[in-house]
Amino acid sequence: MAQPPYPPPQQPPFQPQAPAPQCYRHPGRVTYINCQRCGRPICPECMVPAAVGFQCPECVADGMRSTRQNQGPYGGERSKNPAFTTLVLIAANAAVWLLITLTGGALSPWAFRLGLRPEGMCLLADGSGRYFPGVGADTCAAYGGAATWLPGVADGAWWQPLTSAFTHVELMHIGFNMVALWFLGPQLERVIGRPRFLSLYLLSALAGSAAVMWLSNPSSSTVGASGAVFGLMGALLVLVLKVGGNVQSVLVWLGLNVAFTFIGVGISWQGHLGGLLGGAAIAAIIAYAPRQNRATLQWLGMAAIGVLLIGLIALRALQLA
């Protein structure tokens, strides 16, 4: 048989086509979209919009879990060491107590400068701690070296409403307050975060001072962190109520401290009451702020309380002046 003049055309080798990618959650659904995190194919039903492209539901859930691990239940970042702020506050109180102890104790000039007095005091210079009641600065100056004028908030000692919360004279006083702070502080910082806890502590102290300004004898002198500590108790009560926890134990502890406030001698029930109400109000703002724009509402609410307290203290100072 004769051969053809030309070789027959060569057929290309058979190459099977790769199967079309299918959604990993819905086999049989062809898709050409991949998850931006894990790379698995996802169909339109499984696509979750991300900052760039789409992600699968599992990757979105993993991302949300990792975000929640660093976020507290009421917003803000969780403290890596919830006891840190409490230790700093205890150290500050201890440092002021040591300064007062080394410079005369109850008669230390630092105790008079840092303690809270709504109005000034004309103190005898004999070291007895006695003073002339109802004597103003001009009259006190007429006594010469026999008396010293100690200014109060009404006389321009604007720092006293806050510094008095870090001032202690008696060892037992600072001991009780710091033990209570140690038990309450880390628990609250663990739940609400460091910035909110520090704001709670300082505003509660200011609330206690505002109550002292309005409800106590203008010539009295008040020291101690009890107002701030009672504010932490009030905050703990609100947070326990919010989550439906065991309220009885908190109420028993709070009741014992309230009873001691009125049974004890020389205890400022005004500062305790003001701190308790202030701490409860601040905790309510933190705990019950709606999830949407929660941080903004929390900080605006705490700022409003701070402005209100400063305004009350300033108004009372103007009245006394």
Looking at this protein, which amino acid is placed at residue 318?
A: L
Span 147-184, pLDDT tens digits: 888 889 998 899 999 999 999 999 999 999 999 999 99
DSSP H or E stretch at residue 123: strand 121-124
Span 278-305, pLDDT tens digits: 999 999 999 999 988 999 999 999 999 9
Confidence tier at 29 by pLDDT (50, 70, 90): confident
Residue with tokens 């002198």: 221
What mean pLDDT is reported for the chain? 87
Span 175-210, pLDDT tens digits: 999 999 999 999 999 999 999 999 999 999 999 999
Task: Decide if pLDDT at 236 tops 90.
Answer: yes
Q: Which CATH code is given to the segment(s) 84-117+152-320? A: 1.20.1540.10
Q: Residues 6 or more apart from 157 whose CB is under 8 A from it?
A: 113, 117, 120, 151
Rounded CA separation 207/50 (Å): 45
Q: 232: left (phi > 0), else alpha (psi -120 to 50), else beta?
A: alpha
Task: Decide if pLDDT at 13 tops 70.
Answer: no
Confidence tier at 51 by pLDDT (50, 70, 90): low
- Enter the pTM of the model: 0.77
DSSP string across 210-230: HHHHHHS-TT--B--SHHHHH
Residue in 108, 199, 226, 268 annotated catalytic: 226
* Tokens standing for residue 41: 């194919």
Active site residue 226: yes
Residue in 164, 221, 268, 272 annotated catalytic: 272
* Tokens standing for residue 44: 């339109």
**Distances in whole angstroms, Cα of residue 55 to Cα of each of 10, 26, 62, 114:** 47, 15, 11, 59
Would you call 182 helix, strand, or coil by DSSP? helix
Task: Decide if pLDDT at 14 tops 60.
Answer: no
| Weakest mean pLDDT among 148-152, 240-244, 268-272 | 148-152
* Tokens standing for residue 153: 């908030």
Q: Residues 6 or more apart from 278 whose CB is under 8 A from it?
A: 203, 204, 206, 207, 208, 210, 227, 231, 234, 305, 309
Active site residue 272: yes
DSSP string across 221-260: -B--SHHHHHHHHHHHHHHHHHHT--HHHHHHHHHHHHHH
Confidence tier at 15 by pLDDT (50, 70, 90): low
Domain segments of the chain: what residues? 84-117+152-320
What's the CA dihedral at 189, 190, 195, 201 to 10 degrees?
-10
